[in-house]
Each structure stands twice: as structure tokens, then as C-alpha cells.
């Protein structure tokens, strides 16, 4: 006699899927996730800086473009420097320095009136804002088990877009009471983010001298020269730069193209909102589908979706068709972001994660600086259709590059087993055979700092010998 098995109802399946999407991640990850959400909820200034300069201050569009370029240049400069600090000084102190600097410089920018002073402080804001990214990504790689990293990066990316969606809406309302409130509001929320980091996030940098591989060998010194000589990784950075140049066209070239076709700013707002809505709705379920699949196939597919999604813009003659194009490249973005970040961690040596993440962040910073220039030149000289056709070509080239590069990607080695820690009721995952990680207060089931080596520093920054002691100066 066969017993019938009742399937859970639709709501029950959704609840089960939601639980599985967030289960097994350590408490430290969720505090890091919370700090990211708070930070993005206050991301007012970068979004409304051009409007502030042209509307509230009465400066020209050219001056606003110059300030925006200096803001982007600041991010380019800080990417590599912050990566080095992340490895040498630590994840936690680098985040705190970046966040406190951001809070101070953003508040200062709101009071600047001289055009030279505004441009200079905007460059400092760009440097400070971008400086925390390598540290956040390195800490996330430290504290999350390898098999959960794609899911963790996806949840973090979801928080970024959820926060951005809320902040963009709130900023418009706050600006009605004066733009100074935007600057002070962002400064306050960034300070709140720093408090979360200070009180809830212990340092996760692996202890100096911890082995870098499953064979227990001592780690080799890592400098920026090491990163630049890593051909496979630098190729990934180059391919990511190509895709980043595509995604940046959504915020520069697409509104220009729509304006030339007679569409209003409200039409563009409606179209670009599709991107945020889809990420909020689909990022987590799509990640559940892709997280254990081949990164090579996912990156190839995401590059094609991005390239041909932007290519479809050339055929758009209505708001609905623009929305279709946005839907296609947004799917590419949803697949690409967590997969790419997981690949970067996979290719990074343990004691060089900050530098590697800094170089990866640099590719995005360069794209944000170069994309407006490239898009504008192509549209002015060859027309918008040529730009969108070029995007399809770039997406195809990136897909071919991923296909060639990742054919021989080594499989993940699981040399270690789960090692239990009785302190604070936490469990830990160790990737290195025979090395049990130190307990982290309050850790839940999942990976803890130092999961790949079993060596952690649960104390505040500075309690241990600086990571990278004896390494060449980057």
C-alpha cells in the first residue's frame, strides 16, 4: 500500500523557500548585511548631486559633469588603496575609517559654496564612499562558507538595491525641505552604519602566518604586483569592466537616447524603475536556482543577456519596448553580480583578498568614470543605434572571453570538514584539513571568520599582528 504524500500549499512553499534562502548564514553576516542596508538607505547625495548643483546652486551642466567626474575619480583612486588597507590594517578598521570619512565629508559638502571647494570635497566624498567596498566584500568572504557565498553575495546585492529604491524615493521628498537635509541625512545614516560595524562586527581578517592552502603551507606574500601578474584574475577584471561599461549606459546613455526620441523624464523614471523592481522581486529566487550551477555557463549567459538586452534598445519605439529591453539586461545583472563576486573570491588568495577585491572594485569605478564619456561620444558621432549595437557586440565578446577563460577553472577543494565550537553555542566551517577555527561570540550555524584557514581573530582590530607583516609594500 502506498501512502499519499501531501504537497505543501503555495504560501507554505514560499515560506519554506524564504527560510532556505536565509538559513545557515552566520549572525555576523546579518550584521554586515544590516550595515549595507542602512548605508544604501542613506545614499542620497550621489543620486541627486547633479540636480543639486544645477537647480539649487544654479551651476551649468558642464560644471555638474566635472564634479561628477571628480566624484568618480575619487572612487578610482581609493579602490586600490582601500584594498591594501583591508589586507594590512584589517577589514573592520578600513570600514570604520571609510564610513567616518564619508559621514564627515558628505556633511561638509552640504555647506560648501565656493565652486572649487565643492569640486574638491566631492572628490573626497567619492574616495571615502568607495573605500569601504573591498573591506565589506573581503569580510563577507571570510565569514561565509564557500558553498553559501553566491547566496550571501546575492542577499547583499538585494539589500543594496532595496536600500537604493527606498532612498531614491525618500530623497525626492526630503529635497523639498532643502538639499542640506539630504547631506545631513546621509551623514547621519552612514554614522549609524559605522556604529553597527563598531559594536557588532569583530575583525575577520585571518591571523598573520595562517596557511593559505589546504596543504597547510605558509601563505606567499601578496602585493599589488602579485595581483597584476595574476593573468586569470586580471582577465576576469577586464571582462567585468566590459560588462560594467554596459550596465552604466542605463543611467547615462539611455535617458539621453529616450530624450532624443521624444520621451519625457517621467517615461525614463518608469522604465528604469523596472530594473529596481525586478531585482527586489527576483534576486533571491533566481539565486536559489543558480547558486550551485557552473559559474562559466552563468557568466556566459549573463554577458549575452546584458549585451543583447541593451542591444534591444535600438528597436525600442515605446515605453513598453524600453521596459522589455531593461527586463532582459536586468536578468543578466541578477545572474552576473553574485556569480562574479563568488568567482573573484574563488580566485583570490586568502591573505590577498583585500587587494583582489580592490582591483575588482576598480573595474566598476573606471566604468562609472568612462561610460558617460564613451556613451556620449558614440551617440554624438554615430547615433544611439550604433551605441546599442555596440553593446550587443561587447556582450558577445565578454561571453566568449568567459567561455575561453573558465574552461579550465579548477574545482573547489573541500579539504576540511565541519569543526564544532562549543563557545557561545556556535558552529564553524573549516576548509583547511585539520585546522579548527576559533570560536566567534554569538556565531550561528555557518561559517565563521577564517573559514578557509581555520585561523581567525575574534578580537577587535589591532589585537593581533598586522596581516601581511613582512610583505612587500604594495
Whether the model clears a pTM of 0.75, i.e. scores above it, the answer is: no
Does residue 243 contact residue 306 with C-beta atoms inside 8 Å? yes
- Per-residue confidence at 288, pLDDT binned at 50, 70, 90? confident
User: Following DSSP, what letter does each residue of 94-162 receive, concatenated?
Assistant: HHHHHHHHHHHHHHHHHH--SHHHHHHHHHHHHHHHHHTHHHHHHHHHHHS-GGGHHHHHHHHHHHHHH
Question: What CA–CA distance (Å, rounded) separates 271 from 247?
Answer: 14
Examine the pLDDT at 4 and tell me if it is beyond 60. Answer: no
State the residue for C-alpha cell 584574475.
Answer: 233
Cell numbers for 304: 549575452
Beta bridge partners of 215: none
Give the pLDDT of residue 15: 65
DSSP string computed for 428-449: EE--STT-PPPP-TT--SS--T
Which backbone phi and psi does 293 adopt, to 5 degrees? -100, 170
> In whole angstroms, what is the distance from residue 72 CA to residue 80 CA?
14
> pLDDT-based confidence at 321, cuts 50/70/90?
very high
Q: How far apart are CA 252 and CA 246, in angstroms?
A: 10
Of 107-116, 210-219, 348-357, 456-465, the range with the highest mean pLDDT is: 107-116
What's the CA gap between 441 and 427, in Å, rounded? 11
Check residue 44 and report its DSSP letter: -
Residue 446 has pLDDT above 50, yes or no: no
pLDDT in tens, 375-392: 888 888 898 899 999 999
Mean confidence (pLDDT) of the chain: 79
- Mean pLDDT is lowest, of 21-30, 160-169, 178-187, 450-459, for 450-459
Q: What mean pLDDT comes out for the span 157-179?
A: 79
Residue-wise pLDDT for 412-423, tens only, equals 433 333 333 323
- Per the DSSP assignment, residues forming a β-bridge with 428 are 419
pLDDT in tens, 345-358: 889 888 888 999 99
Mean pLDDT of 447-471: 34
Please determine, for residue 360, whether its predicted confidence score (pLDDT) is greater than 90. yes
Residue 333: pLDDT band (50, 70, 90) is very high
Q: How confident is the model at residue 309 (pLDDT cuts 50, 70, 90)?
A: very high
- Write down the pLDDT at residue 445: 35
User: What pLDDT was estimated at residue 396?
Assistant: 97
Query: How far, in Å, CA of 161 to CA of 287, rounded?
Result: 15
Residues 56-66 pLDDT 10s: 888 887 788 78
Amino acid at each position: 500500500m502506498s501512502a499519499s504524500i501531501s504537497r505543501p500549499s503555495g504560501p507554505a512553499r514560499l515560506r519554506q523557500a524564504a527560510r532556505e534562502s536565509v538559513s545557515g548564514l552566520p549572525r555576523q553576516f546579518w550584521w554586515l548585511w544590516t550595515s549595507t542596508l542602512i548605508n544604501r538607505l542613506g545614499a542620497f547625495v550621489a543620486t541627486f548631486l547633479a540636480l543639486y548643483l544645477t537647480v539649487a546652486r544654479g551651476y551649468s551642466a558642464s560644471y555638474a559633469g566635472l564634479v561628477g567626474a571628480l566624484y568618480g575619480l575619487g572612487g578610482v583612486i581609493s579602490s586600490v588603496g582601500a584594498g591594501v588597507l583591508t589586507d594590512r590594517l584589517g577589514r573592520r578598521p578600513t570600514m570604520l575609517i571609510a564610513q567616518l570619512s564619508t559621514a564627515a565629508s558628505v556633511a561638509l559638502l552640504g555647506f560648501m559654496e565656493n565652486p572649487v571647494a565643492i569640486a574638491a570635497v566631492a572628490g573626497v566624498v567619492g574616495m571615502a564612499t568607495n573605500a569601504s567596498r573591498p573591506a565589506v566584500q573581503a569580510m563577507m568572504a571570510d565569514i561565509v562558507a564557500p558553498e553559501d557565498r553566491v547566496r550571501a553575495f546575492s542577499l547583499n546585492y538585494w539589500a543594496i538595491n532595496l536600500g537604493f529604491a527606498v532612498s531614491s524615493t525618500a530623497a525626492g521628498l526630503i529635497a523639498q525641505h532643502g538639499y542640506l537635509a539630504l547631506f545631513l541625512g546621509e551623514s547621519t545614516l552612514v554614522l549609524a552604519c559605522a556604529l553597527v560595524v563598531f559594536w557588532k562586527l569583530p575583525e575577520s581578517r585571518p591571523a598573520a602566518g595562517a596557511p593559505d592552502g589546504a596543504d597547510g603551507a605558509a601563505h606567499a606574500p601578496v602585493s599589488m604586483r602579485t595581483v597584476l601578474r595574476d593573468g586569470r584574475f586580471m582577465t576576469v577584471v577586464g571582462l567585468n569592466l566590459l560588462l560594467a561599461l554596459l550596465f552604466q549606459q542605463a543611467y547615462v546613455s539611455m535617458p539621453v537616447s529616450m530624450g532624443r526620441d521624444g520621451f519625457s523624464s517621467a517615461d525614463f523614471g518608469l522604465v528604469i524603475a523596472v530594473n529596481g523592481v525586478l531585482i527586489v522581486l527576483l534576486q533571491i529566487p533566481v539565486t536559489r536556482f543558480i547558486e550551485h550551477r557552473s559559474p562559466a555557463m552563468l557568466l556566459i549567459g549573463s554577458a549575452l543577456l546584458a549585451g543583447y538586452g541593451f542591444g534591444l534598445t535600438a528597436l525600442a519605439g515605446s515605453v513598453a519596448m524600453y521596459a522589455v529591453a531593461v527586463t532582459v539586461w536586468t536578468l543578466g545583472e541578477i545572474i552576473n553580480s553574485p556569480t562574479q563576486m563568488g568567482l573573484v573570491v574563488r580566485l583570490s588568495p586568502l591573505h590577498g583578498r583585500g587587494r583582489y577585491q580592490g582591483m575588482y572594485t576598480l573595474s566598476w569605478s573606471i566604468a562609472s568614470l568612462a561610460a558617460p564619456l564613451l556613451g556620449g561620444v558614440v551617440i554624438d558621432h554615430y547615433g544611439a543605434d550604433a551605441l546599442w549595437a555596440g553593446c550587443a557586440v561587447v556582450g558577445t565578446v565578454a561571453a566568449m572571453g568567459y567561455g575561453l577563460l573558465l574552461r579550465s577553472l579548477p574545482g573547489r577543494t573541500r579539504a576540511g570538514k565541519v569543526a564544532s565550537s562549543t563557545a557561545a553555542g556556535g558552529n564553524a566551517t573549516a576548509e583547511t584539513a585539520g585546522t579548527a577555527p576559533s570560536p566567534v561570540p554569538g556565531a550561528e550555524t555557518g561559517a565563521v571568520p577564517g573559514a578557509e584557514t581555520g585561523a581567525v581573530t575574534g578580537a577587535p582590530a589591532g589585537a593581533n599582528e598586522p596581516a601581511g607583516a613582512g610583505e612587500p609594500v604594495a
